[in-house]
Structure 1
Amino acid sequence: MHISRRTALIGITATVPLVTTALAAPADAATPSGSAGSSGTTGTSGSSGSADSGVLAVQRWLNTTFGHLHGWVHVDEDGLTGSGTVLGIVQATQSLLGISPVVATFGPTTRRKLEQHGDVGAETGADAATWRRLVQAGLVCKGASTVSLTGEYDAATVAAVQALRSDLGAEPGALPLSAHLFGALLTVDPVRLASGGSRAVRAVQQYLNRTYAEATGGAYGSTSGLVDTSTYSAAIRAVQVAVGVTVDGAWGPGTAAALRAAGPSVVGVGATGAWVLLVKALLVLNGERVVFSSAYSAADAAVVRAFQQFQAFPPAEQTGTCDAGTWAALAASTGDPDRATTGADTAVRLDDARAAAVRASGATSVGRYLTNHQRSGALDKALTPEELRVMASAGLGLWPIFEEGGFAASWFTEEQGVRDAHRAHDAARKLGIPKQTTVYFAADFDSTSAQDESLVVPYFRGVAAGLRDRGNLYKAGVYGSRATCTAVSSAGLAHFSFVAGMSPAWAGNQLEPLPGNWSLNQIQNRTVGSGNGSTEIDAVVDSGRDPGVPAARLAG
């Protein structure tokens, strides 16, 4: 979960967590959000902090009651709530739904069977009390300190359910729980306003839950006031419900096409209603300052126009009206992947035919690699002096990239950053790259906030030191997710950001604003040209901030 960056960018004062009598602050309120994932072959608590007797009782009950099941992953009996305990509740739910073997994942099969089962809490028969205990176990893991595993819906359980509904933004009521509301107990998504969370963001999260979570394929998301992966999924599910496509929480071409075909989705000044609320929800979640309401004003249009300008929309498309391209830019790091672009990058060495094809595609500059990976058998992708002459002749400028191992977290140490800076500098000098050109060092993986802080930023400190060793002839840029680029740039270690936007599934790209110093945004893999000129490129949106090395200077 990427939390601190977004809060700073949203620009809304942090607030004190709300207090709900029946729900104490959950122990995992500040731990990573999202649906509980697989915990592997051994149980884990998935959290840290003080042991809780209620959680310990849940853990012991789960192991005692369900530990014999085929596939069961043991739940650590440590009194610490978190993903391991919640996954135990998931496995127990699967057993009651007839899934065997059970798996430590709250995936599509479990969701589908839960929807088919219907309301939880009104069962009769042999499993009725077990279902009620699962509800109580989930409430305990959400912080309901007054709830016990009685198997009866006592006053404490009813009060906790009412508080859960209120926190999630669901319709008021008590029991039974809808399948989707029970599903909210099968995740570690926080439901309380977290430290550093925004009330404005929380209002949007609750609106999305209240309005769209109960639709087929819907799901309740976090209401912590912090934008996380469950919030992103909830927002995309809302769009999918609105346009009438399969609801899965993943942005793709089907959702984009349906949105483009939905006439009411074009929102301009004077518009009112659900579409306005949805676009304003996305604006708030993207860190924009708008009033969350059902009316679209001239002030809202000004915010959208500035957003379009910052995203480097063509001037004619900077209208302040939320059209298909704007929806796409709000929903996914690619934006509209089919938009015309004037930049490219490629690992393919360019000869005359390929360079001509790339230039004919509309690109005026190309990102190319300074070196090869040092391992045996690595792709030969390194720039050569001859290729620079070819590019200059074709009218193509250059953005130099360095990546020898930046696709794995293990690569990122301060010492490696120093070594990489030396190699990048030496290669650039040998090729005659002009001084003060920005070289983009790659962090080509979905780095978490913790990895940014502990690995990537120290690596870029090493890059800075390595470039100083060589006289600071070149500037460091960063290639990575929006979140990683922001983290490195905020540390003062990157002159420009080359955003890996064509990886919209990366958590570091979901509802993360583009970094303020973004120069390039990679949005789509394309094949240009034909025959001998056929070349695979990544289409790149050029903000105009980094001129790179113009073709005329390459020729010199």
Structure 2
Amino acid sequence: MADERVSDAQRFINSYNDSRIPKVEVDGKTSWTVMRALTRILQLHIGISTLSDTFGPATLSALKVSYPSIDSSNMVAGINRVIQSALYCKGYDGGNIDGVYNEKVQASVTQLKTNMGVDDVYPGSGLTPKVFKSLLTMDAYVPVMGGTEAVRGVQQWLNATYVDRENFYVIPCDGNFSRDVQKALMLAIQFQIGMSDSVANGVFGPGTQQGLKNNVLTIGSSGTWVQLFTAALLFNKRPEATFSPFFTDSVASVVNAFQSFTKLPVTGKGDFPTWASLLVSYGDNTREGTACDASTSVSDARLVSLIGAGYQTIGRYLCNVPGSSFNKMIQPGELARCAAGGLSVYPIYQTIGTNASYFSYSQGAAAAFNAIEWARFHGFRPGTRIYFAVDFDALDDEVTDYVLPYFRGVDGVMYEHAPLYQIGIYGARNVCSRVSVEGLASASFVLDMSSGYSGNLGYPLPANWAFDQISTVTVGAGSGSIEIDNNISSGRDLGQSSFLPIPVTTDLDVDFDMAWKPALLNDIRSYMETLGYGDTGSPGPEGALRLVSTPEAIDVLMSWDRIATSLARELKMRKSLMQAVLFQEMRHYSRQDVATDGAVIDYYAGTGLSPLSDASTGLGQIYAKTAIEARNHCISAGIIGGLVRDPSDESNLWAIWQRLHTEDTYNISTVPLVLIHAASRIGLSRPGLSQSDADTTATIARYNGTGPAAAGYGGVVFGYYSIFEIYNSIMRNA
């Protein structure tokens, strides 16, 4: 929501005719862009020649020398206007941006310091350098969404206790544990150990670790050490944790529960392993786990090494990255060898997954199909949990925009095509937690080795963790040497100890080689010319209504080739059959289709006079009733999993119609089910890999309906099928 006083601050920034101070949009919204511009203006007025977006040591030092406390005696209007503008951006009253450190500014600065917890350290209404630095950030000093007063109290205490230390800066007091708060807690611990300002750095290094080992807390302990320890418990969202200077029986009870949860020795003490697990994601990384994961195959000699080192479970990769020469996938005979030797296995699916752009709903659907196929190939039985990897430091907004849609795609395919397999997630703490809270993963394989990941800093261990990856180690020697990631196991997933490989069906379709796309387009065009079609027109006056050209339809079809291939392989039918129908429906998409879509929307919105409760829609131009009946048939036949719906219930029609209309993946995945149902309705066998031309033509015709028009549709679309099949067969046999 726009704030007019923030707009005033933005106009103040734009009043500077200086190339070093960039113009900002006047939209009334606080942002880092605004705060950085205000920082530059401050630097200009305190005599810094090289302006920067960063309020760094030079800015802080200059303020300490010339303006150790800015108050009502300050006559530098430019500095006062920066303060007034920043106060407005923080939600405080700046008393007009008039360059006067007036009573409203004094009251707001006093309130700001109280909210920060530093009012006793910096009494009065003066603005000190460290408070000024924090004023020019996007940090909040009042509770925000998700924040608690308990955490905020600790944040204020940290500020009040340590703000005068050289490298300690005012941290947010918003009630949320975060990266900056984590570093502040680590600095506080280092100060408590006795480190000087020049040594304390917020890093969990050898000196910090030794200091914690020297300060074990037990029932009866009291003072600052206990405050820091209970703060860490609170930050890790331990139930019943409270901030206190006294290590009581109740504190010991919380510690016992935390130690049990993280699979530490249950001592009830604030010992080093417990401190470590509270402070850094990998905890005490000298712990010996009973689980591991590896990109190297398990030979006889390596199996002996792993068992000898106490490992009971290993994670191995279902397949290799396409195009990569690195062979990390499960090898022939490996799973049987592990099972015979007493080492269970859990499967990991990762192809790329190392940046946000890889992840999408359709990519998740394709990944699930691929994972299912490889899991069956290797012999993983029902009940197996497959861990899908998110192997990068996903920021929270990237989780929302990319990772969650990806796992919705995974979940949709697994639910329909492999409901007996479970979904797991491999990633940083925040990624695992958010995906799991959405109900899209039943267990987490946590990437805790990467302690610097933003998705690990400030986030507790996910409640459903199965494996906690804490270190990379090498076990064994010579031919038995193997590098592994050492994992702590919660016992939530024990892996699999018996396997039943399913032979791969031969003659399945493969991804389309796009080098053949121009030739395919030419052949499609030639065939369409025999029907009287050009690239954009069609016979008769209705040609002007067509909205999709032949090249555009082919482009769209090829963009969904991965999904079409996956469906064809999973359902053991010809991809050409789906491609032919989809091409026909896209190529003939018209203004009339747009109108009927609108009529259906109007019907359910009750905004018009439309009597139309259903119509063909989406890429495959499918009626909701047709989709429901086809899915019901395939569910009853055991072809897919899912919920049987009543096609006469308008709430079902509307729910499915919306998905067909807006979700291309869902629409495409419905096309083969409609074709399967179509064949059954005319007494034909389920479309397979060797369906006759006559049966294929009849199946296509029934997709369109009944009668002479549908028969004509079947004949025309069979021509497309024949062309697609020429190219798909080339690729299958390559």
TM-score bracket, normalised by the shorter chain, equals 0.7 to 0.9
Contact kept? 1:235, 1:249, Cα under 8 Å:
no
Aligned pairs, number: 496
Contact persistence 1:139–1:185 (CA under 8 A): yes
Change (3 A) 1:490 1:242: same
Contact 2:149 2:175 in 1 (8 A): yes
1:502–1:522: 8 Å Cα contact kept in structure 2?
yes
The alpha-carbon distance between structure 1 residues 538 and 419, as it changes in their structure 2 partners (threshold 3 A), is same
2:463 corresponding residue in structure 1: 516
Does 2:141 correspond to 1:141? no
Secondary structure in 2 matching 1:171: coil
Structure 1: unaligned runs, 5 residues or longer: 1-48
- In structure 1, the residue matched to 2:186 is 236
The alpha-carbon distance between structure 1 residues 458 and 182, as it changes in their structure 2 partners (threshold 3 A), is: same
Deviation at 1:534, TM superposition (A): 4.2
Partner of 2:374: 427
Tell me whether 1:92 sits opposite 2:44 in the alignment: no
Match of 2:27 in 1: 78
* Shift of residue 554, structure 1, vs aligned partner: 9.1
Match of 1:56?
7
1:41 is matched with none
SS of the aligned residue for 1:512 comes to coil
Q: Cα gap change, 1:141/1:471 in structure 2, threshold over 3 Å: closer, same or farther?
A: closer
- The answer to whether structure 1 residue 331 and structure 2 residue 276 are counterparts is no
- What CA deviation, in whole Å up to 9, does each residue of 1:277-326 have, x standing for no partner? 1111111121122232211110110011100100011xxx3111111111
Which of 361, 364, 387 aligns to 2:312? It is 364
- Report how far residue 165 of structure 1 moved: 0.7
Q: 2:212 aligns with which of 260, 264, 272?
A: 260
Residues 1:186 and 2:186 are matched in the alignment: no
C-alpha distance in structure 1 between counterparts of 2:165 and 2:287, whole Å: 32
Q: Residue 467 of structure 1 is aligned with which of 406, 414, 431?
A: 414
Q: Distance in 1 between the 2:17 and 2:55 partners?
A: 17
Question: Is the Cα contact below 8 Å between 1:67 and 1:74 reproduced in 2?
Answer: no
2:85 partner letter: A
Paired amino acid for 2:154: V
The alignment partner of 2:472 has SS state of strand
Bigger shift: residues 158-167 or 335-344: 335-344
Instruction: Work out whether residues 42 and 78 of structure 2, in 8 Å CA contact, stay in contact via their aligned partners in 1.
Output: no
CA pair 143-132 structure 1, distance change in 2 beyond 3 A: same
Question: Quick one: distance in 1 between partners of 2:130 and 2:78?
Answer: 18
2:242 counterpart of 1:291: yes
User: Where does 1:368-379 land on structure 2 (aligned, <5 Å)?
Assistant: 368-374=316-322, 376-377=323-324, 379=326
CA distance in 2, matches of 1:352, 1:191: 59
Show CA shifts across 1:87-115 (max 9, x none).
11233344566666433344566567767
Change (3 A) 1:74 1:388: farther
| TM-score, normalised by the number of residues in structure 2 | 0.62
Task: Return the offset for 1:391.
Answer: 3.5
1:355 and 1:179 mapped to 2: Cα distance?
A: 61
Q: Summarize the alignment of residues 112-123 of structure 1 with structure 2, pairs less than 5 Å apart.
A: 119-121=68-70
Consecutive unaligned residues in structure 2, runs of 5 or more: 502-734
**1: CA distance between counterparts of 2:53 and 2:416?**
50
- Name the counterpart of 1:37: none
In 2, the alpha carbon distance for the partners of 1:357 and 1:419 equals 36
Judging changes above 3 Å, is the alpha-carbon distance between structure 1 residues 81 and 161 closer, same or farther for their aligned structure 2 residues?
A: same
- Provide TM-score, normalisation by structure 1: 0.81
CA contact (8 A) 1:121 1:131 kept: no
Of residues 160, 168, 182, the one that matches 2:108 is 160
Distance 1:242 1:533 in 2: 46
* The one of 475, 482, 492 aligned to 2:439: 492
Q: Give the secondary-structure state (helix, strand or coil) at the position aligned to 2:426.
A: strand
Residue 446 (structure 1) shift: 2.9
Post-superposition Cα deviations, 1:16-61, rounded to whole Å, max 9, x if no partner, equal xxxxxxxxxxxxxxxxxxxxxxxxxxxxxxxxx21323x2333333
The answer to whether the Cα contact below 8 Å between 2:368 and 2:410 also exists between their aligned partners in 1 is yes
- Which residue in the other structure is 1:441 paired with? 388
Match of 1:481 in 2: 428
**Contact 2:109–2:126 (8 Å) recurs in 1:** no
User: What RMSD, in angstroms, separates the aligned Cα atoms of the two structures?
Assistant: 2.9
Question: How many angstroms apart in 2 are the aligned matches of 1:116 and 1:430?
Answer: 71
Q: 1:525 to 1:554 in 2, by over 3 A?
A: farther
Alignment of 1:196-211 (within 5 A): 196-211=146-161
**Contact persistence 2:193–2:208 (CA under 8 A):** no
Match of 1:3 in 2: none
Q: Note the alpha carbon deviations across 1:335-393, whole angstroms, 9 max, x for none.
A: 1122221221122333344444444443222111111122x235321111233345346
Would the aligned equivalents of 1:120 and 1:178 in 2 still touch at CA under 8 Å?
A: yes
| SS of residue paired to 1:447 | coil
1:518 positional shift:
0.9
- The question of whether the paired residues in 2 share the 8 Å contact of 1:121 and 1:128 is answered with no
Residues 221, 246 of structure 2: 8 Å contact kept: yes
For structure 1, which segment, 195-204 or 522-531, has the greater mean C-alpha deviation from structure 2 after superposition? 522-531
Shift of 1:196: 4.2
2:262 is equivalent to residue 311 of structure 1: yes
- Would you say 1:322 and 2:277 are equivalent positions? no
User: Which residue type is aligned with residue 388 of structure 2?
Assistant: F
Which residue of the other structure, out of 158, 166, 170, is the alignment partner of 1:216? 166
